[in-house]
Structure 1
């Protein structure tokens, strides 16, 4: 299987992208901003059927394209389709921007599709924040997609839960608050591995989960001058994004989406995969989604929020079953 990494940092929206971006109230903010060319890791299938779709994967907050490395390789091999794992703006190796709005992120994805995947149809898979971005992208540009898979993500505005503990609480604010509280200048002259070891001792009292500690620390990187470390993700921009969930002006409610439907439910098959120990996707969310999309199915696995990493074989089976049922891949 061939793996290549695309590094391209153009920020202007090309004319080809513009013709696919549907004008809407939620895209108004994104239309006024530069669109970012996203970094990607591409896993190419050894043999492909002519006109086969391409899968694109979108990670969650604080994540990056490498979160899907194992899953993307298996899908490329077993489904004989190319898989593109993207770094969303302000994450991984994609450029940083002061804006981290959901419409802007969705616009980045559409820009990537029209430049790197079109005219092939896209299967868009997103986890958590990536699931909300995927929902926005498909809702506003359905003609580019043949299916979407939402992993433990709720596109509708409501109080978010934390990724730091499982028995609380308020939202991912705990994690971003911790990252913002760390003074990285204290570690000048030290390597990433040295800093991780020291920070881990500090995080132990604040973050009970070793897995979450390790996940957050994947965002540590050596600074360009090699004299210290810095966060790979744009902590300040992400903090503003998370804070937007507290705003009463948040416009991604079910009612807001429903009011924008002009031709009935969208005809793009959607699979929602949720964790039984997570409460990101509620039964009522599925009922509301069925008013917006004509073909919505739900499966629940015995996991928490990180479904594809906690039950990789089961998650892969659900994805392959769904794609086979929709005749997007051969059985």
Structure 2
């Protein structure tokens, strides 16, 4: 559907009003989205943003199969979501490496996985880290890398291409949209439950089974989500005890920093405006049909930021990249091959 500028801006205003109503009904501060975006950018500017060197894995292309003398194809960079890490995307990465015959980089974003920790956790800082990674590893040759992001990583990918229009050749956003939403109270509950396991100090929770049972009692949810959340903790021997006796859990990632970012709206925020930023490269938005992260009402706004966007739906939940990595990879590979021809 083709929309003129007036209709796009009108729809943008309607989405703002709908989000205003959602925030008001849920008891959250009813701040106008544009004001919220302004303050989000102001916070980002006030905070000292130090670039971090990101931890990563690389799945190398098979030179024997793809040809030693063939010009390398643009690499793929995959970004995980909140609470995730580079290991979450191994399956989809291997699939893309096999189908597209190119290097695939799996990154840990700041405050996640093996990457360094920082009190600053917003999309400006995260996207700058990725830009720094691309420059440091000289990945912007051959047309620029293809950036892929899931959930929080999807917003990082969107901001990266919008703020650096010539850096990447294509962008794939899985399960997110360029909109500001109310902070997700469920995520705060997740962190509180995980911190309670850590603060137990091994008194009643010493095994993964006990930790999972505690999470099930606190947050419910399915086993897949709980297993995913438990990857943010590590099981260690209590000091002074024998290896076969007492254990406790420690944080792998700075849970209090992430909780602070969630509560302040940094994770749910989207500080950019299509009147000032737009990207005309090929953009794919993958939606999970059992999720509500990318509803039809957001499509006009997506088009305002990304006029060459297209969507594909996959029957799965929000963690579609983990539930159906093969289907995700097929969808992305089809998109890449069509736009490289």
Residue 156 in 1 paired to residue 182 in 2?
Answer: no
Farther off after superposition, 26-35 or 293-302? 26-35
Q: Structure 1: give runs of 5+ residues left out of the alignment.
A: 1-24, 162-169
Aligned to 1:138: 161
> Do the aligned partners of 2:61 and 2:97 also contact (CA within 8 Å) in 1?
yes
Going by fraction, where is helix more abundant, 1 or 2? 2
Look up the SS of the partner of 1:125 in the other structure.
strand
From the superposition, tell whether residues 314 and 246 of structure 1 become closer, same or farther in structure 2 (CA, over 3 Å): closer
TM-score, reference length from structure 2: 0.77
The equivalences for 1:273-312 within 5 A come to 273-312=286-325
Number of residue equivalences: 287
Look up the SS of the partner of 1:143 in the other structure.
coil
Following TM superposition, the consecutive aligned residue runs of length 4 or more in structure 1 with deviations greater than 4 angstroms are 25-28, 222-228
**RCO higher in 1 or 2 (8 Å CA, sep ≥ 6)?**
2
> Do the aligned partners of 1:159 and 1:171 also contact (CA within 8 Å) in 2?
no
Q: Work out the CA distance in 1 between the residues paired with 2:131 and 2:266.
A: 27
> What's the RMSD between the two structures over aligned residues?
2.7
Aligned to 2:112: 91
Look up the SS of the partner of 2:112 in the other structure.
coil
Aligned to 2:192: 177
Look up the SS of the partner of 1:186 in the other structure.
coil
Look up the SS of the partner of 1:229 in the other structure.
strand
> Do the aligned partners of 1:35 and 1:107 also contact (CA within 8 Å) in 2?
yes
From the superposition, tell whether residues 278 and 58 of structure 1 become closer, same or farther in structure 2 (CA, over 3 Å): same
> Which among 226, 231, 250 is matched to residue 213 of structure 1?
226
> Do the aligned partners of 1:153 and 1:280 also contact (CA within 8 Å) in 2?
yes
TM-score, reference length from structure 1: 0.79
Q: Between Structure 1 and Structure 2, whose CA radius of gyration is higher?
A: 2
Aligned to 1:61: 82
Aligned to 1:9: none
Look up the SS of the partner of 1:148 in the other structure.
strand
1:26-54 deviation per Cα after TM superposition (whole angstroms, max 9, x unaligned):
79538832111000011111135414101
Look up the SS of the partner of 2:91 in the other structure.
helix
Look up the SS of the partner of 1:182 in the other structure.
helix
Aligned to 1:128: 151
Aligned to 2:201: 186
